[in-house]
């Protein structure tokens, strides 16, 4: 893992296994970005409104965050973890995450 991977909290995670365990994919890009393409079944919760929308998620279910590059999803992971979500993984960019699930 390189410096950027460590910086953004992206580690070797079995995303397929998380999905089999009921993980929810939260795409934190803007609605316009999300509408231009996203992972089927993902939920769009833009980062800027995550504090107001996270109550729609279950704290006991795994959550995978994604965005365009991995920066916003890293921030989203930190926000969710600090609000009591125990199983949160930064999936990074949605296009690369899509190929891992």
First vs last C-alpha separation in the chain: 20
Of the residues 64, 67, 80, 101, only one is catalytic, namely 67
Whether 66 is a known active-site residue: answer no
DSSP symbol at 10: -
21 CB neighbour count, 10 Å cutoff: 11
What does the angle CA 11 – CA 74 – CA 66 come to, to the nearest 5 degrees?
A: 85
Active-site residue list: 67
């Amino acid at each position: 893992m390189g410096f950027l991977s460590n910086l953004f909290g992206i580690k070797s995670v079995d995303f397929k296994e998380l999905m089999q365990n009921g993980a929810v994919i939260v795409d934190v890009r803007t609605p316009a970005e999300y509408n231009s393409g996203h992972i089927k079944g993902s939920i769009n919760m833009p980062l800027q409104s995550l504090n107001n929308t996270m109550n729609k998620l279950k704290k006991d279910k795994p959550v995978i965050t994604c965005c365009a590059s991995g920066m916003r999803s890293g921030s989203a992971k930190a926000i969710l973890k600090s609000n009591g979500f125990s199983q949160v993984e930064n999936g990074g960019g949605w296009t690369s995450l899509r190929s891992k699930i």
